[in-house]
Protein backbone atom coordinates (compact mmCIF):
# COMPACT_ATOMS: atom_id res chain seq x y z
CA UNK A 1 0.00 0.00 0.00
CA UNK A 2 1.45 3.33 -1.06
CA UNK A 3 1.77 5.94 1.69
CA UNK A 4 0.33 9.38 1.10
CA UNK A 5 2.59 12.41 1.04
CA UNK A 6 1.08 13.52 4.34
CA UNK A 7 1.81 10.18 6.04
CA UNK A 8 5.34 10.11 4.66
CA UNK A 9 6.13 13.66 5.73
CA UNK A 10 9.33 14.04 7.73
CA UNK A 11 8.69 15.38 11.24
CA UNK A 12 11.14 17.95 12.60
CA UNK A 13 11.06 19.72 15.94
CA UNK A 14 12.94 22.74 17.20
CA UNK A 15 14.78 22.42 20.50
CA UNK A 16 13.18 25.72 21.46
CA UNK A 17 9.86 23.84 21.47
CA UNK A 18 11.12 21.08 23.79
CA UNK A 19 10.05 21.54 27.40
CA UNK A 20 12.81 21.44 30.01
CA UNK A 21 12.52 18.55 32.45
CA UNK A 22 13.99 18.62 35.93
CA UNK A 23 15.81 15.48 37.05
CA UNK A 24 14.33 14.01 40.22
CA UNK A 25 16.56 12.03 42.55
CA UNK A 26 16.11 9.03 44.76
CA UNK A 27 19.67 9.41 46.03
CA UNK A 28 21.56 12.44 44.73
CA UNK A 29 23.79 12.17 42.71
CA UNK A 30 23.90 8.37 42.64
CA UNK A 31 20.40 7.18 41.64
CA UNK A 32 17.97 9.29 39.58
CA UNK A 33 14.26 8.57 39.27
CA UNK A 34 12.99 7.63 35.82
CA UNK A 35 16.39 6.38 34.63
CA UNK A 36 18.61 3.29 34.61
CA UNK A 37 21.35 2.92 37.23
CA UNK A 38 23.85 0.05 37.26
CA UNK A 39 25.53 -1.34 40.38
CA UNK A 40 28.42 -3.59 39.37
CA UNK A 41 31.25 -5.50 40.97
CA UNK A 42 32.84 -8.93 41.30
CA UNK A 43 30.90 -11.76 42.99
CA UNK A 44 30.91 -11.50 46.79
CA UNK A 45 32.22 -7.92 46.82
CA UNK A 46 29.08 -6.29 48.23
CA UNK A 47 26.95 -5.12 45.30
CA UNK A 48 23.90 -7.17 46.36
CA UNK A 49 24.39 -5.98 49.94
CA UNK A 50 24.23 -2.40 48.70
CA UNK A 51 21.11 -3.16 46.63
CA UNK A 52 19.36 -4.76 49.61
CA UNK A 53 20.33 -1.89 51.92
CA UNK A 54 18.90 0.51 49.35
CA UNK A 55 15.65 -1.48 49.16
CA UNK A 56 15.39 -1.61 52.95
CA UNK A 57 16.02 2.13 53.33
CA UNK A 58 13.34 3.00 50.77
CA UNK A 59 10.81 0.64 52.36
CA UNK A 60 11.18 2.33 55.75
CA UNK A 61 12.07 5.90 54.82
CA UNK A 62 15.52 5.60 56.39
CA UNK A 63 18.12 7.58 54.45
CA UNK A 64 21.44 6.17 53.27
CA UNK A 65 24.52 8.44 53.62
CA UNK A 66 23.81 11.75 51.90
CA UNK A 67 20.25 10.71 50.97
CA UNK A 68 17.31 12.89 51.89
CA UNK A 69 14.78 11.19 54.14
CA UNK A 70 11.78 10.09 52.09
CA UNK A 71 8.33 8.74 52.84
CA UNK A 72 8.44 4.91 52.77
CA UNK A 73 7.48 3.49 49.39
CA UNK A 74 7.13 0.16 47.59
CA UNK A 75 10.19 -1.50 46.05
CA UNK A 76 10.19 -4.36 43.53
CA UNK A 77 13.15 -6.72 44.00
CA UNK A 78 13.84 -9.48 41.46
CA UNK A 79 16.67 -11.95 41.88
CA UNK A 80 17.74 -14.66 39.46
CA UNK A 81 20.57 -16.04 41.61
CA UNK A 82 19.48 -16.09 45.26
CA UNK A 83 16.53 -17.78 46.96
CA UNK A 84 13.89 -15.42 48.34
CA UNK A 85 13.25 -17.43 51.49
CA UNK A 86 16.74 -18.56 52.43
CA UNK A 87 18.84 -15.61 51.28
CA UNK A 88 16.99 -12.42 50.33
CA UNK A 89 14.42 -12.35 53.14
CA UNK A 90 16.95 -12.98 55.97
CA UNK A 91 19.21 -10.25 54.59
CA UNK A 92 16.31 -7.81 54.31
CA UNK A 93 15.32 -8.63 57.89
CA UNK A 94 18.87 -7.93 59.03
CA UNK A 95 18.74 -4.60 57.15
CA UNK A 96 15.52 -3.66 58.95
CA UNK A 97 13.30 -3.59 55.84
CA UNK A 98 9.52 -3.27 55.93
CA UNK A 99 8.88 -6.50 54.07
CA UNK A 100 5.30 -5.55 53.25
CA UNK A 101 6.81 -2.88 50.98
CA UNK A 102 9.42 -5.11 49.29
CA UNK A 103 7.60 -6.88 46.48
CA UNK A 104 8.45 -9.58 43.96
CA UNK A 105 6.93 -10.51 40.60
CA UNK A 106 6.17 -14.24 40.71
CA UNK A 107 8.08 -15.93 37.89
CA UNK A 108 8.36 -19.62 38.83
CA UNK A 109 6.34 -20.71 35.79
CA UNK A 110 7.08 -17.75 33.54
CA UNK A 111 10.57 -16.28 33.77
CA UNK A 112 10.81 -12.50 33.67
CA UNK A 113 12.90 -10.66 31.07
CA UNK A 114 13.73 -7.00 30.55
CA UNK A 115 11.38 -6.96 27.57
CA UNK A 116 8.49 -8.35 29.65
CA UNK A 117 5.37 -6.19 29.86
CA UNK A 118 4.95 -7.32 33.48
CA UNK A 119 7.75 -4.96 34.55
CA UNK A 120 5.80 -1.83 33.68
CA UNK A 121 2.51 -3.38 34.80
CA UNK A 122 3.94 -4.21 38.23
CA UNK A 123 5.41 -0.73 38.69
CA UNK A 124 2.10 0.91 37.81
CA UNK A 125 0.00 -1.52 39.88
CA UNK A 126 2.12 -1.21 43.04
CA UNK A 127 3.25 2.39 42.70
CA UNK A 128 6.86 1.25 43.18
CA UNK A 129 9.44 4.02 42.90
CA UNK A 130 12.41 1.63 42.81
CA UNK A 131 12.90 -1.64 40.94
CA UNK A 132 16.04 -3.76 41.32
CA UNK A 133 16.94 -6.67 39.02
CA UNK A 134 19.88 -8.80 40.19
CA UNK A 135 21.79 -9.73 38.07
CA UNK A 136 21.34 -8.16 34.64
CA UNK A 137 22.17 -11.30 32.67
CA UNK A 138 19.47 -13.25 34.51
CA UNK A 139 16.81 -11.06 32.87
CA UNK A 140 17.98 -10.83 29.27
CA UNK A 141 16.15 -13.91 28.06
CA UNK A 142 17.61 -16.96 26.34
CA UNK A 143 17.72 -15.44 22.86
CA UNK A 144 19.61 -12.23 23.74
CA UNK A 145 23.41 -12.22 23.51
CA UNK A 146 24.70 -9.74 26.10
CA UNK A 147 27.84 -9.17 24.02
CA UNK A 148 25.97 -8.10 20.87
CA UNK A 149 25.43 -4.35 20.90
CA UNK A 150 22.44 -4.34 18.54
CA UNK A 151 20.55 -6.81 20.74
CA UNK A 152 21.43 -5.09 24.02
CA UNK A 153 20.39 -1.65 22.70
CA UNK A 154 16.89 -2.91 21.93
CA UNK A 155 16.49 -4.38 25.41
CA UNK A 156 17.85 -1.37 27.26
CA UNK A 157 15.88 1.08 25.14
CA UNK A 158 12.75 -0.69 26.35
CA UNK A 159 13.86 -0.57 29.99
CA UNK A 160 14.77 3.12 29.74
CA UNK A 161 11.36 3.89 28.22
CA UNK A 162 9.60 2.08 31.08
CA UNK A 163 11.63 4.04 33.64
CA UNK A 164 10.84 7.30 31.84
CA UNK A 165 7.10 6.64 31.59
CA UNK A 166 6.67 5.48 35.18
CA UNK A 167 9.24 7.71 36.91
CA UNK A 168 10.60 4.60 38.64
CA UNK A 169 14.31 4.29 39.37
CA UNK A 170 15.42 1.02 37.75
CA UNK A 171 18.63 -0.47 39.16
CA UNK A 172 20.40 -3.28 37.32
CA UNK A 173 23.02 -5.27 39.25
CA UNK A 174 25.86 -6.59 37.12
CA UNK A 175 29.08 -8.58 37.33
CA UNK A 176 32.48 -7.45 36.08
CA UNK A 177 34.40 -9.22 33.36
CA UNK A 178 37.88 -10.69 33.93
CA UNK A 179 39.82 -8.05 31.96
CA UNK A 180 42.12 -7.13 34.84
CA UNK A 181 43.94 -3.85 34.43
CA UNK A 182 41.40 -2.49 31.95
CA UNK A 183 39.80 0.92 32.33
CA UNK A 184 36.71 0.73 34.55
CA UNK A 185 34.50 1.70 31.58
CA UNK A 186 35.31 -1.64 29.95
CA UNK A 187 35.03 -3.88 33.02
CA UNK A 188 31.26 -4.38 32.94
CA UNK A 189 30.20 -7.87 31.82
CA UNK A 190 28.78 -7.83 28.30
CA UNK A 191 28.42 -5.04 25.77
CA UNK A 192 29.60 -1.50 26.57
CA UNK A 193 26.02 -0.50 25.69
CA UNK A 194 24.95 -1.45 29.21
CA UNK A 195 27.08 1.38 30.53
CA UNK A 196 26.02 3.70 27.72
CA UNK A 197 22.33 3.24 28.56
CA UNK A 198 22.79 3.84 32.29
CA UNK A 199 22.69 7.42 33.54
CA UNK A 200 24.66 6.39 36.62
CA UNK A 201 27.08 3.54 37.34
CA UNK A 202 28.21 2.54 40.83
CA UNK A 203 31.22 0.25 41.26
CA UNK A 204 31.49 -1.83 44.44
CA UNK A 205 34.72 -3.54 45.42
CA UNK A 206 36.80 -4.86 48.30
CA UNK A 207 39.88 -3.16 49.74
CA UNK A 208 42.95 -5.34 49.21
CA UNK A 209 44.52 -4.63 52.59
CA UNK A 210 41.19 -4.35 54.45
CA UNK A 211 39.09 -7.34 53.32
CA UNK A 212 36.09 -6.35 55.45
CA UNK A 213 35.86 -2.92 53.80
CA UNK A 214 33.78 -2.45 50.65
CA UNK A 215 34.04 0.80 48.73
CA UNK A 216 31.36 2.30 46.45
CA UNK A 217 32.78 4.46 43.66
CA UNK A 218 30.56 6.64 41.46
CA UNK A 219 32.05 5.52 38.16
CA UNK A 220 29.69 7.30 35.75
CA UNK A 221 27.26 10.18 36.15
CA UNK A 222 25.47 11.72 33.17
CA UNK A 223 23.04 13.95 35.06
CA UNK A 224 25.11 15.47 37.87
CA UNK A 225 28.73 15.73 39.06
CA UNK A 226 30.05 12.39 40.27
CA UNK A 227 29.50 11.81 43.97
CA UNK A 228 32.22 11.03 46.47
CA UNK A 229 33.15 7.44 47.13
CA UNK A 230 31.63 5.74 50.17
CA UNK A 231 32.49 2.65 52.17
CA UNK A 232 30.88 0.10 54.43
CA UNK A 233 32.20 -2.72 56.59
CA UNK A 234 30.98 -6.26 56.03
CA UNK A 235 31.95 -9.60 57.46
CA UNK A 236 33.39 -8.79 60.89
CA UNK A 237 31.89 -9.21 64.36
CA UNK A 238 30.26 -5.77 64.20
CA UNK A 239 28.18 -6.57 61.11
CA UNK A 240 27.23 -3.99 58.51
CA UNK A 241 28.15 -0.36 59.18
CA UNK A 242 29.00 2.71 57.12
CA UNK A 243 32.58 3.99 57.31
CA UNK A 244 34.28 7.36 56.95
CA UNK A 245 37.62 8.14 55.34
CA UNK A 246 37.36 6.55 51.90
CA UNK A 247 35.87 9.46 49.93
CA UNK A 248 38.72 9.93 47.44
CA UNK A 249 39.27 6.37 46.22
CA UNK A 250 38.95 6.16 42.43
CA UNK A 251 37.51 3.38 40.28
CA UNK A 252 40.93 2.44 38.93
CA UNK A 253 42.40 2.30 42.44
CA UNK A 254 39.59 0.06 43.60
CA UNK A 255 39.92 -2.30 40.63
CA UNK A 256 43.65 -2.59 41.25
CA UNK A 257 43.02 -3.54 44.87
CA UNK A 258 44.13 -0.15 46.17
CA UNK A 259 47.52 -0.94 47.61
CA UNK A 260 47.53 1.88 50.15
CA UNK A 261 51.12 1.33 51.24
CA UNK A 262 52.49 1.70 47.69
CA UNK A 263 50.30 4.72 46.95
CA UNK A 264 51.27 6.45 50.19
CA UNK A 265 54.96 5.86 49.54
CA UNK A 266 54.60 7.34 46.04
CA UNK A 267 52.77 10.34 47.51
CA UNK A 268 55.51 10.89 50.08
CA UNK A 269 58.16 10.82 47.35
CA UNK A 270 56.18 13.33 45.28
CA UNK A 271 55.68 15.70 48.24
CA UNK A 272 59.36 15.65 49.19
CA UNK A 273 60.34 16.28 45.58
CA UNK A 274 57.98 19.27 45.21
CA UNK A 275 59.12 20.78 48.52
CA UNK A 276 62.83 20.02 48.14
CA UNK A 277 63.92 23.60 47.46
CA UNK A 278 62.46 24.91 50.71
CA UNK A 279 59.90 27.16 49.01
CA UNK A 280 56.22 27.31 49.88
CA UNK A 281 54.03 25.35 47.46
CA UNK A 282 50.21 25.66 47.25
CA UNK A 283 48.66 22.42 48.44
CA UNK A 284 46.32 22.62 45.41
CA UNK A 285 49.39 22.24 43.19
CA UNK A 286 50.48 19.16 45.13
CA UNK A 287 47.00 17.61 44.90
CA UNK A 288 46.88 18.32 41.16
CA UNK A 289 50.30 16.77 40.52
CA UNK A 290 49.31 13.72 42.57
CA UNK A 291 46.03 13.32 40.69
CA UNK A 292 47.92 13.28 37.38
CA UNK A 293 49.78 10.23 38.71
CA UNK A 294 46.63 8.47 39.92
CA UNK A 295 47.13 9.39 43.60
CA UNK A 296 44.05 10.65 45.45
CA UNK A 297 43.87 13.65 47.77
CA UNK A 298 43.11 11.29 50.64
CA UNK A 299 46.39 9.45 50.06
CA UNK A 300 48.34 12.72 49.79
CA UNK A 301 46.98 13.88 53.15
CA UNK A 302 47.90 10.52 54.66
CA UNK A 303 51.43 10.80 53.25
CA UNK A 304 51.75 14.33 54.68
CA UNK A 305 51.22 12.92 58.19
CA UNK A 306 54.32 10.77 57.63
CA UNK A 307 56.46 13.86 56.97
CA UNK A 308 56.49 15.75 60.30
CA UNK A 309 58.86 18.45 59.04
CA UNK A 310 56.19 19.93 56.74
CA UNK A 311 55.03 23.39 57.82
CA UNK A 312 51.51 24.42 56.80
CA UNK A 313 50.62 28.11 56.41
CA UNK A 314 47.71 30.15 55.03
CA UNK A 315 48.98 33.69 54.30
CA UNK A 316 45.95 34.47 52.14
CA UNK A 317 43.06 32.35 50.90
CA UNK A 318 45.26 29.39 49.93
CA UNK A 319 47.05 26.80 52.01
CA UNK A 320 50.76 26.31 51.43
CA UNK A 321 53.11 23.48 52.38
CA UNK A 322 56.83 23.90 53.04
CA UNK A 323 59.81 21.92 54.26
CA UNK A 324 62.14 24.67 55.58
CA UNK A 325 65.82 24.25 54.86
DSSP 53-71: HHHHHHHHTPPPTTPPP--
Mean pLDDT of the chain: 90
**Which residues, in sequence order, are bridge partners of residue 78?**
133
DSSP code at position 116: -
Phi and psi (nearest 5°) for 79? -130, 135
Percent pLDDT > 90 in the chain is 59
pLDDT beyond 60 at 1? no
CB 129 within 8 A of CB 167: yes
| β-bridge pairing 36-41 and 102-103 | unpaired
What confidence tens digit (pLDDT) does each residue in 108-150 have? 899 999 999 999 999 999 999 999 999 999 999 888 888 888 8
Residues 6+ apart with CB under 8 A from 306: 264, 268
Q: Considering Cα of 12, then 15, then 21, then 25, what sign does the dihedral take?
A: positive
Report the phi/psi class of residue 50: left, alpha or beta, with left for phi > 0 and alpha for psi in -120 to 50.
alpha
The neighbour count for residue 39, using CB atoms within 10 Å, is 27
pLDDT beyond 70 at 261? no
CA distance 10 to 14: 13
CA distance 100 to 88: 14
CA distance 295 to 143: 44
Please state the rounded mean pLDDT for residues 77-103.
Answer: 96
Amino acid sequence: MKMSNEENKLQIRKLSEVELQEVRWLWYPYIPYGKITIIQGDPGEGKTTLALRLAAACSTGQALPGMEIVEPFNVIYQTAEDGLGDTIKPRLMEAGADQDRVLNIVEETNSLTLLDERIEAAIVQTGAKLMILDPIQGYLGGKVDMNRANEIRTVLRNVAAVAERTGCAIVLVGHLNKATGANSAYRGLGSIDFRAAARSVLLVGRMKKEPNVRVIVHDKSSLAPEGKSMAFSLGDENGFRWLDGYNDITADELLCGFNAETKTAAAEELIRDLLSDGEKVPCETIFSMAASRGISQRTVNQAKKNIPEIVTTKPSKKWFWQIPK
